């Protein structure tokens, strides 16, 4: 494991801050000053300012993010952060981001390798959103979402779309661009009134009240690992093409 990742997992700092500590010569590995390209083995002793550090255990947290919380470790505006909501002995950080007013499933972990893989578009991890718009999209509008719309950073991939009721739409995507869901609906002429992520990969917030969290079961962690080990799948199974009412 690279030294900055080891420090992040030990709860010392983020990888970026860890790089600064390493550059400053404050981190040693087996008594030798660490470098940015230093790799740490299981039996190595890592110290910060001469004080030995212990690596934290891996932790995997599912949070039902409430509205108003920001998806970051700290906020200069003093807003409540998702990290503050999770009182855990291990330092965990969110995988991806949700806007402050978006609610729902958010994974936090200190497993840097898994976090990187889940965020990588190669693995096409499904993210399911319940979207309510101010005006009701037509079936033609939903078909545009299904086949992809043009955004300022390029066209979107195929999406799973079904109408739940009126202006309430379920959208399944596997990309993770900034404000993507809101921008997709804006592209078809509809502003989002509320946005909730009901599922992230195999994880749902069923049984979790907003603001509450739980540790993942080992079987759930294994499910996430399987998602990142598979070859890129065919999306047809989650992309309904013929849906008379864009419903069930």
Give a yes or no: residue 205 inside a domain: yes
Within this chain, do residues 109 and 181 fall inside the same structural domain, yes or no? Answer: yes
Within this chain, do residues 157 and 83 fall inside the same structural domain, yes or no? Answer: yes
Report d(CA 95, CA 148) in Å as an integer: 25
Q: Catalytic site residue 231?
A: no
Report d(CA 175, CA 121) in Å as an integer: 6
Give a yes or no: residue 203 inside a domain: yes
Pairing of strands 192-200, 103-109: parallel
Within this chain, do residues 142 and 223 fall inside the same structural domain, yes or no? Answer: yes
Give a yes or no: residue 247 inside a domain: no
pLDDT in single tens digits along all 248 residues of the chain: 889 888 887 778 778 889 999 999 999 999 999 999 999 987 899 999 999 998 778 899 999 999 999 998 788 888 999 999 998 888 888 998 999 999 999 999 988 788 888 887 788 899 999 999 999 999 999 999 999 999 999 999 999 999 999 999 999 999 888 899 999 999 999 999 999 999 999 999 999 999 999 999 999 999 999 888 754 444 333 443 333 332 23
What pLDDT, on the 0 to 100 scale, is given for residue 230? 58
Report d(CA 145, CA 143) in Å as an integer: 5
Nearest to 142 by CA among 194, 195, 184: 184
What pLDDT, on the 0 to 100 scale, is given for residue 162? 96
Number of folded domains in the chain? 2
Within this chain, do residues 99 and 24 fall inside the same structural domain, yes or no? Answer: no
Q: What CATH number does residue 190 fall under?
A: 3.30.2350.10
Q: What CATH number does residue 46 fall under?
A: 3.10.290.10
Residue 70 in contact with residue 80, Cβ under 8 Å?
yes
SS3 155: strand
Within this chain, do residues 11 and 134 fall inside the same structural domain, yes or no? Answer: no
Give a yes or no: residue 42 inside a domain: yes
Within this chain, do residues 103 and 195 fall inside the same structural domain, yes or no? Answer: yes
* Helix pair 180-187, 139-147: axis angle to 10 deg: 130
Q: Which of 75, 99, 126, 243 is catalytic?
A: 99
Give a yes or no: residue 102 inside a domain: yes
Within this chain, do residues 138 and 213 fall inside the same structural domain, yes or no? Answer: yes
Report d(CA 193, CA 74) in Å as an integer: 27
Report d(CA 101, CA 22) in Å as an integer: 37
Within this chain, do residues 32 and 80 fall inside the same structural domain, yes or no? Answer: no
Within this chain, do residues 46 and 66 fall inside the same structural domain, yes or no? Answer: no
Report d(CA 142, CA 168) in Å as an integer: 11
Report d(CA 240, CA 232) in Å as an integer: 19
Within this chain, do residues 166 and 183 fall inside the same structural domain, yes or no? Answer: yes
Q: Provide the whole-model pTM.
A: 0.78
The residues, any chain, with a CB within 8 Å of residue 72's CB and separated by 6 or more, are 81, 82, 83, 94, 97
DSSP states of 38-75 as a string?
A: -B--TT--EEETTEE--PPPP-EEEEEEPTT-BSSS--
Structural domain span for residue 17: 3-52
């Amino acid at each position: 494991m690279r030294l900055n990742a080891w420090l992040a997992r030990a709860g010392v700092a983020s990888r970026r801050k860890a790089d600064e500590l390493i550059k400053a010569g404050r981190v040693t590995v087996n008594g030798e000053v660490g470098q940015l390209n230093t790799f740490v083995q299981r039996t190595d002793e890592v110290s910060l300012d001469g004080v030995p550090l212990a690596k934290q255990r891996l932790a995997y947290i599912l949070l039902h993010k409430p509205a108003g919380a920001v998806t970051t470790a700290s906020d200069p505006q003093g807003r409540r952060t998702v990290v503050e909501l999770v009182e855990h002995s291990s330092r965990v950080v969110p995988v991806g981001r949700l806007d402050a007013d978006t609610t729902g499933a958010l994974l936090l972990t200190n497993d840097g390798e898994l976090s990187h893989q889940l965020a990588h578009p190669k693995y096409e991890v499904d993210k399911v959103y319940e979207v309510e718009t101010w005006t009701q999209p037509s079936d033609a509008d939903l078909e545009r979402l299904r086949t992809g719309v043009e955004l300022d950073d390029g066209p979107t991939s195929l999406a799973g779309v079904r109408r739940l009721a009126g202006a309430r739409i379920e959208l399944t995507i596997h990309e993770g661009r900034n404000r993507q869901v809101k921008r997709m609906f804006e592209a078809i002429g509809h502003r989002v009134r509320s946005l909730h992520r009901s599922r992230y990969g195999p994880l749902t917030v069923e049984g979790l009240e907003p603001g509450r969290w739980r540790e993942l079961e080992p079987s759930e962690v294994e499910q996430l690992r399987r998602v990142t080990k598979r070859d890129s799948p065919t999306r047809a199974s989650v992309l309904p093409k013929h849906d008379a009412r864009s419903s069930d």
